[in-house]
Chains A and B, each alone.
Chain A
Amino acid sequence: MNSLTACAVNETERIFLKKKTMVLLIITMLIPVLGAIGVGFFQKGLGIMPVSASEFSVWILGIFTNFLLPLFIGMAAVDLFAGEIGDRSIKITLLRPVSRLGIFSAKIIALAAYIVVNLGIIFLVSSFSTFFLEGKEGLIWGMTKGLLAYNAAILPMLLIAIAAVFIAQLFKNSSGALVILILIYFGLNIVSTVFPGISNLMITSYTDWHLLWTAGWGQLGRIFTVFMFILSYSIIFLASGFYLFERREL
C-alpha cells in the first residue's frame, strides 16, 4: 500500500469507526422510513398525496441535501481538520512518511467516501421505503431517475465538504468551527433568498443541482453552467484549504 492509499484508508476507516458516525448513519436510515410512513399516512388517511412512490427517493434526497447532509459533512470535515488539530492527534499522521499534500488529499478522499456512503444508504433505504406508499406506477423509471439524481448530488456535496475543510482550518477547536460553519451555511441561504439575483454565486444554492438532472434534456445548458461554478469553487477552496494545511505548524 503506498502512502496516499494507506492514509486514505486510515482517514476513511477512522470516520466510520466513530460512534457519532454510526449514530448519524442510523438517523440517515430512519428518516426515509419515517418519511415514507408519514407520506403513506397522508395518502391513506387524508387522501392527500404529497409525493408519489416513483418520486419519493428524489424528494427525500432534497430533504437531505438541503440541510442534513451538509450538516453531517460539516461535522466530519471539522473532526478531520479542526478536531484533530485541536486534540493534536493530527501529529500521528504528520509524523508518518506521507507528505502534507498526501494527507490533505487522503482526508478529502475520506470525505468523498463518506458522502458516497451516505447517499448510497439514503437511496437504498428510500427506494425500499416506497413499500409504504401507494401510486407505484412508473416506479422503475422513477428509481432510475433517482439513481441519476443521487449520483449528481455527489458533486455539490463534495463542494460543501471542500469549503467546510477550508473554513474548519481557520479554527483550533471543533465546536467553534462547527458553529461558524452552520451560521455561514444559514447565512448564505438567507442571502440567496433575500437577493435571488446573486443566488447563483452562493455555494449553498447548488445543493439541489440533482433536480436539473431529472428535469430532462432541456436543462443541459444550466447543468453545465452550475458544473462550472462547482468546479471553480472547488478549485478555489481546495487550493486555499491546502495552503492553510501545508503551512500549519504544531
Chain B
Amino acid sequence: MEKVLEVNGLTKLFKNGRGIRDISFDVYQGEIFGFLGPNGAGKTTTMKIITGLSRADRGSVKIFGYDVLTRFEEAMRKVGCIIETVESYEFLSAAKNLEMALRYYPGLDKSRIHEVLELVGLDKYKNEKVGCFSLGMKQRLGLASAILSKPELVILDEPANGLDIEGTVDIRNIITRLAREQGITFFISSHMIHEMEITCDRIGIIEDGRIIRTGIVRELLDQYSSLEDYFITQVREDRGRIA
C-alpha cells in the first residue's frame, strides 16, 4: 500500500522538558490510523507539526511525498484537518465559513457546501451564525470543513470532543463510511479507547511523548480481550522497562 503520511524521528521539547521524542510512523492509503494516548502524551503536538502549525526541533514529515516544511502547499492540497479545537469565524454563517474555505479548491463548486452540510446534519442551520452554534454543532461544522475539499487524507485531533453519545456515533459512522466508500485515509487521535477500537484499522500508542507500539486492531483483538486491555498492558510494560 502507498504511504500517504511519513513521519520520521519527530522531536520537539518544550521549556518544561515535556514534548515528543523520536516519533516515527507511517499511514497508508485507505486505512484509518488511530493515535491513542492519554491527555498530554504528545498527540496534538505531533499533529500540529504534521500540519505545519508548529515546528519540530528534529525530524521530518512527508504528506503524499511532499515535505511539509519545504512544499507545504502541495503537501496540504489533498488534506483536510481538525487540530486541537475546531475554529470557525463566529460572526459568519456556517455556509459562508465553508464558502471561504472552498475558494482554495478551484475544482469544486458551491453545491459541495450543501453536500457536506447535509452529511454532518447541519444543512438546515447553514444560514445561522456559527456564534450561535453549540459545541457539538461546531464540531460537526469542523468535520464538514475538513472533508469539504474531497481530501484523500483527513487528520482529526479528538474529533468527538464536545459531542454527546449520538454525535459521537454519527461522527464515527461518517468516518468509517468515507473510508470504506471513498477510500479516504484517516489519521485520528483520541484518548477514547472504545471509539478507537471500533473505528480504527491500525493504532499507534503514544505515551509520554514516545510511540511505544503500533499494531493492527483486528490482530490485537485476537490476542487481547479489548484494546483497553492491550493499551494497559503495553503502557505498564513500557513503564516497567523505563523504571
Contact = CB atoms under 8 A, between A and B. Distances in A.
A20 to B, nearest CB: 9
Nearest to B72: A99
Contacts of A18: 91
Contacts of B103: 1, 6, 9-10
A44 B76 CA distance: 65
A91 B92 contact: no
A95 B91 contact: no
Contacts of A1: 103-104, 106
A94 B100 contact: no
A10 B52 CA distance: 21
Interface residues of A, number: 27
A88 B85 contact: yes
A98 B55 contact: no
Interface in B138-178: 145
B91 A92 contact: no
Interface in A1-46: 1-3, 6-7, 9-10, 13-14, 17-19
Given A249-B54, A250-B54, A92 B101 contact: yes
Contacts of A102: 73
Interface in B58-75: 72-75
B210 to A, nearest CB: 21
A17 B129 CA distance: 12
Contacts of A17: 91-92, 96
Contact of A89 (B48, B52, B73, B88): B88
A29 B50 CA distance: 47
B73 A94 contact: no
Interface string B82-109: 0111011101100011001101101000
Contacts of B48: 249-250
A91 B73 contact: no
A97 B107 CA distance: 14
B196 interface: no
Interface residues of B, number: 30
Contact of A10 (B72, B100, B145): B100
Contacts of A100: 72
B83 A92 contact: no
Interface in A146-162: none
Interface in A26-85: none
B89 A98 contact: no
Given A88-B87, A89-B87, A91-B87, A99 B73 contact: yes
B53 interface: yes
A188 to B, nearest CB: 33
Interface string B228-239: 000000000000
A99 B74 CA distance: 10
A99 B81 CA distance: 16
A95 B53 contact: yes
A177 to B, nearest CB: 19
A7 B75 CA distance: 17
Contact of A96 (B83, B84, B104, B106): B104
B76 A91 contact: no
Given A1-B103, A95-B81, A249 B76 contact: no
Interface string A84-124: 00011101101111111010000000000000000000000
Given A17-B91, A89-B87, A249-B54, A95 B100 contact: no
B127 to A, nearest CB: 14
16 contacts: A3-B73, A6-B104, A10-B100, A14-B92, A17-B91, A87-B87, A89-B88, A91-B87, A92-B145, A95-B51, A95-B83, A97-B76, A98-B104, A99-B73, A250-B48, A250-B53
Interface of B: 48, 51-55, 72-77, 79, 81, 83-85, 87-89, 91-92, 96-97, 100-101, 103-104, 106, 145
Interface of A: 1-3, 6-7, 9-10, 13-14, 17-19, 87-89, 91-92, 94-100, 102, 249-250
Given A91-B84, A97-B72, 6 more contacts: A1-B104, A14-B89, A95-B51, A95-B52, A96-B101, A98-B73
What are the 3 tightest A-B residue pairs by CB atom distance, in nearest-first order? Answer: A6-B103, A97-B76, A97-B77
